[in-house]
Structure 1
């Protein structure tokens, strides 16, 4: 009797998932192969599946750039049991059919660039070997995926189609203004509140990306997409303080 799976069965085999123990009660789960974009999309899909299926013993799923940290009750399930459950859940929920998040939102975010708002733009241009205008051109041409919500609900996004990697600041800044748009590697992030950072600041949006008075406090989530639009400094006063929504800049973009 043959033990080889039939063609239809091969298509439903679990995706190539790596699950590494992370302490006594967590697993670091990621795709073992694929491009950067595929691994990032895969981590978002894994998180969605786990929150939907809620395997026995699951406590929380924390998103990373291209992985998820799965926290569980070690008295209810073992590392190996949960890893197997994750692979089976991914196999049975159309994991490979997931594209660019069909239910996701798309945001156009205005960006004001001047000497005060973009102190690191000259350094980024020098590092990449292109002009400052070209740096902004690459940023505007990139459709970025929100991979995760970092500290203070900051949207961490990738990938900016830069011709190389952007290094972090040699000396981190102790206080960066809210709305600052920053880059490192080929990722971008927006600073929701004043705070320190080692990322390079290349502009600032007048929109408010996180407001605790709103419910929910952000209008975006992981899997949504973003495109930046450089606007004149004269737009700052008119747009300042608006809460970021999908239509925050829709009317202005048409003009």
Structure 2
């Protein structure tokens, strides 16, 4: 663990720099230990780092380093028993699976095999980033690992489900992006009016469920009343 200054009112706590479940769990455990510390103003966990905000008028860098190091020593490791899995519906129909053929070419898998792998794997939410509520989830089975698109799209629809490297994710809002799109989620992943705006949080366990077009429309209407899907 290495602590660096990150501007005048934050610190960056770096762990080993790679995507790894155990390393990410260290990040989340430290964030949990610091959550109730009054000197901490905000926390941003990532794959293998934690940004810790503080009030520079009340505490300095050295004091915060000591606080973080003491919290790291005393933190308890999370157990993963009895962790509930959040089920997320996805329609993998051709009209939504914009890059399915490209994924088939890269992986050598059939569309059925791709969907089966994506829906039978339980993913961990490693971090939120890119845009508000975008949950980076992993890790994809090695057979489903794909490269990002060479030419990113200027607009990816809200709810689009994509793959990139060993990651999968759902676009929580319309945004540019270069992930390989294989389906569409009908539920609202980010809503600023909710007490917890982002549906998914770091550390959550997620499993995707394949749904047909009719169920997609039903669920979408529940999430977005008086709307229908438009290409």
Q: TM-score range by the shorter chain?
A: 0.7 to 0.9
Distance 1:109 1:202 in 2: 14
Distance 2:81 2:17 in 1: 20
Deviations 1:221-242, CA, capped at 9 Å, x for gaps: 2221110011222322222233
Q: Please, what TM-score do these two structures have when normalized by structure 1?
A: 0.76
Q: What residue in structure 2 maps to residue 83 of structure 1?
A: 65
How far did 1:52 drift? 2.0
**Relative to structure 1, is the Cα distance of residues 189 and 230 closer, same or farther in structure 2, using a 3 angstrom cutoff?**
same
How far did 1:36 drift? 0.4
Q: Which of the pair has more CA radius of gyration?
A: 1
Distance 2:218 2:19 in 1: 41
1:105 and 1:220 in contact (8 A); partners too:
no
Q: What residue in structure 1 maps to residue 37 of structure 2?
A: 53
2:107 and 2:145 in contact (8 A); partners too:
yes
Q: Does 1:38 align with 2:22?
A: yes
Q: Does 1:157 align with 2:141?
A: no
Q: What residue in structure 1 maps to residue 90 of structure 2?
A: 111
Q: Does 1:68 align with 2:50?
A: yes
**Relative to structure 1, is the Cα distance of residues 142 and 80 closer, same or farther in structure 2, using a 3 angstrom cutoff?**
farther
Q: What residue in structure 1 maps to residue 110 of structure 2?
A: 131
Distance 1:75 1:169 in 2: 45
Structure 1: stretches of 5+ with no match in the other structure: 1-16, 244-255
1:178 and 1:192 in contact (8 A); partners too:
yes
2:42 and 2:54 in contact (8 A); partners too:
yes
- In the alignment of these two chains, the number of paired residues is 222
Distance 1:178 1:66 in 2: 27
Which piece of structure 1 moves more, 186-195 or 148-157?
148-157
The runs of at least 4 aligned residues of structure 1 exceeding 6 Å deviation read none
1:139 and 1:162 in contact (8 A); partners too:
no
SS of 2:221's equivalent?
coil
Q: Please, what TM-score do these two structures have when normalized by structure 2?
A: 0.83
Q: Does 1:143 align with 2:122?
A: yes
How far did 1:61 drift? 1.4
1:18 and 1:32 in contact (8 A); partners too:
no
RMSD: 2.5
1:111 and 1:206 in contact (8 A); partners too:
yes
Match of 1:166 among 146, 151, 154: 146
**Relative to structure 1, is the Cα distance of residues 34 and 188 closer, same or farther in structure 2, using a 3 angstrom cutoff?**
closer
Q: What residue in structure 2 maps to residue 5 of structure 1?
A: none
Distance 2:172 2:158 in 1: 5
How far did 1:110 drift? 1.4
Distance 1:121 1:200 in 2: 8
2:30 and 2:75 in contact (8 A); partners too:
no
Q: Does 1:192 align with 2:172?
A: yes
Q: What residue in structure 1 maps to residue 3 of structure 2?
A: 19
